[in-house]
Amino acid sequence: MSIEFLKIEGLGKAYPGAPEPVFEGVNFGIQRGEFVCIIGHSGCGKTTILNTLAGLEHSSEGHVFMDGREVTAPGLERGVVFQGHALMPWLTVGQNIAFAVRSKWPDKAKAEVRSHVEKYVRLVGLGAAIDKLPSQLSGGMKQRVGIARAFAIEPKMLLLDEPFGALDALTRGTIQDELLRICGETKQTVFMITHDVDEAILLADKILLMGNGPRARIAEIVVNTLPRDRTRAGLHHDPQFYPLRNHLVDFLVTRAKDLSHGRAPTHPPEVRPGLLAAAV
């Protein structure tokens, strides 16, 4: 196996005054071009882990290495998309994306910036809305702009914190399809938080299952064995789908709580292929 593009070693987070750490002993790796989802109940520290990967928070212990260098601060080699689109309301779609592009390439000529922006606006299907303000867009369209902005800086890694959580089911499905298509074209490395089991199965190459906090940990790493060219329409017809889905749901309903409080292991999480996944 090739050297891991992203490597997390012994990550832990404790807040001042709290009797116990939120999570500890978190270890996992991500290969270049891999799409990884993390699933777990609220409060187990998923967003804190993502923020640490983004350099927006510091862990209490452990290290994050990306492409051979330790992550200690935010950087434009990592694009982040949160559940809220975080667009600047006084700027148009194109201007919002151009702001990020200029941050990475301040010497780009105006025409080059515009051409670059147009490319990524088209990529998310918003070519006709490039000169509109955020107030003129639907929630799903705003989220697409956020995704286009993240892709436009051509990051080495994309970090997604439940980016579709506030969207209706139809819009969510459409943007999932867009994300699959774009990642297929760009071979983007992605780390994504989701509470949606079906979404994780559709998008991810690997699914990290996290136990409840305090002292939460990565309990298991499930390798998604469904074909990489899977689609939302065909997902439920694959004979591997329901055994994998049932395993993930069983973890969330039954086993996650059994792996909390005082049971953090000294060994790394076990890696299992989807159909053979089992409790650690």
Pick the closest to residue 24 from 211, 162, 192, 193 (CA basis): 211
Mean predicted lDDT score pLDDT of the chain? 88
| Predicted confidence (pLDDT) per residue in 231-246, tens digit | 888 899 999 999 999 9
Instruction: Lowest mean pLDDT of 67-81, 171-185, 197-211, name the range.
Output: 171-185
Domain ranges of the chain: 1-77+157-164+189-280
Collapsing DSSP to helix, strand or coil, 230 comes out as coil
Percent pLDDT > 70 in the chain is 90
pLDDT exceeds 90 at position 276? no
Collapsing DSSP to helix, strand or coil, 161 comes out as strand
Give kind and range of the element (H or E) at residue 99.
Answer: helix 93-104
pLDDT at res. 237: 92
pLDDT exceeds 60 at position 261? no
pLDDT at res. 172: 83
Mean pLDDT confidence for 189-218: 94
Band (pLDDT 50/70/90 cuts) for residue 173 is confident
pLDDT at res. 251: 92
Task: Read off the pTM.
Answer: 0.89
pLDDT exceeds 80 at position 19? yes
pLDDT at res. 267: 47
Question: At the fourth CATH level, which superfamily is domain 1-77+157-164+189-280?
Answer: P-loop containing nucleotide triphosphate hydrolases (3.40.50.300)
Residues 6+ apart with CB under 8 A from 4: 29, 30, 31
Collapsing DSSP to helix, strand or coil, 157 comes out as strand
Residues 148, 126: contact at Cβ < 8 Å? yes
pLDDT exceeds 80 at position 21? yes
| Predicted confidence (pLDDT) per residue in 99-108, tens digit | 999 999 999 9
> Which tokens is 220 given?
């298991």
pLDDT at res. 265: 46
Backbone angles phi, psi at 168, to 5 degrees: -70, 160
pLDDT exceeds 90 at position 131? yes
Type of residue found at 208: L
Mean pLDDT confidence for 29-56: 95
258 or 42: which carries more pLDDT confidence? 42
| Predicted confidence (pLDDT) per residue in 155-166, tens digit | 999 999 998 887
In what order do the strands lie in the sheet containing 157-161?
78-81, 157-161, 189-193, 35-39, 206-210, 218-223, 270-273
Residues 280, 265: contact at Cβ < 8 Å? yes
Percent pLDDT > 90 in the chain is 68
Band (pLDDT 50/70/90 cuts) for residue 177 is confident
pLDDT exceeds 90 at position 115? yes
pLDDT exceeds 90 at position 96? yes
pLDDT exceeds 70 at position 257? no
Name the most confidently modeled range: 176-185, 218-227, 271-280. 218-227
